[in-house]
Chain A
Amino acid sequence: KAGVTQTPRYLIKTRGQQVTLSCSPISGHRSVSWYQQTPGQGLQFLFEYFSETQRNKGNFPGRFSGRQFSNSRSEMNVSTLELGDSALYLCASSLTGTHTEAFFGQGTRLTVV
């Protein structure tokens, strides 16, 4: 059974640009959650999608957005990049998003210069 796949693994962008990250969940998993990990703030929840609908959202500005497709693959987009957006972005998939184990991808390391 294939795991959670995130692409790309590494990304360097310039301030002001936008970026799109992709997450392919485990087959059969309908919930995809996104997290940001930084040395200062640790792991923080961005949002969760289930059956193409955003069900939950963390405390991040509107520059952070996402979507989910009918095959459960998810993308997150960050517009107008700031230096502080440099982080490891992780996605996690689970069957339902509640009371089920979460499986994480390897992450996308974003560097904003």
Chain B
Amino acid sequence: KNEVEQSPQNLTAQEGEFITINCSYSVGISALHWLQQHPGGGIVSLFMLSSGKKKHGRLIATINIQEKHSSLHITASHPRDSAVYICAVSLNAGGTSYGKLTFGQGTILTVHP
């Protein structure tokens, strides 16, 4: 079983819909990251969370440390939101965690006009 699991793996939505992507992890973490990757490869950091909730524009990220679960929400989705969304964690493991992110498998989001 992977240390970081995302669901769903694929998500198709109509423009304007509310979208939720889920991430569960099985290890102790110091932070959880939500990343966005467009075709062409570059990765953009959306959020880094260690507790609670963060909001940036139409994006909201929440984390529940006790339940080892995080969600990424996109309100009023738009075709330009189409991308791969990746959940990643920084392990709480001392030296073996330096600079290391452990990734989920990604969620491919397609938003149709």
Task: For A101, give its contact among B43, B45, B86 (CB under 8 Å).
Answer: B45
Interfacial residues of chain A within 12-33, with CB under 8 A of chain B in the complex: 31-33
Count of chain B residues near A, Cβ 8 A: 26
CB atoms of A102 and B41 under 8 A apart: no
CB atoms of B86 and A99 under 8 A apart: no
Judge if B113 is at the interface, Cβ distance under 8 Å.
no
Interface of chain A: mostly helix, strand, loop or mixed: strand
CB atoms of A33 and B99 under 8 A apart: yes
Distance, CA A66 to CA B43, complexed state (A): 21
Contact digits for A81-113, partner B, Cβ 8 Å, 1 yes 0 no: 000000010101010011111111111010000
- A80 CB to nearest chain B CB (Å): 25
Which A-chain residue is minimally distant from B100 (CB atoms)? A45
Count of chain A residues near B, Cβ 8 A: 30
Given A37-B41, A98-B30, A99-B50; 20 other pairs, CB 8 A cutoff:
A31-B98, A33-B101, A42-B106, A43-B86, A43-B101, A43-B103, A45-B101, A50-B98, A55-B99, A56-B96, A88-B41, A92-B99, A97-B98, A99-B30, A99-B90, A103-B45, A104-B35, A104-B45, A106-B40, A107-B42
User: Which residues on B are within 8 Å of A, measured CB to CB?
Assistant: 30-31, 33, 35, 40-45, 48, 50, 86, 88, 90, 95-103, 105-106
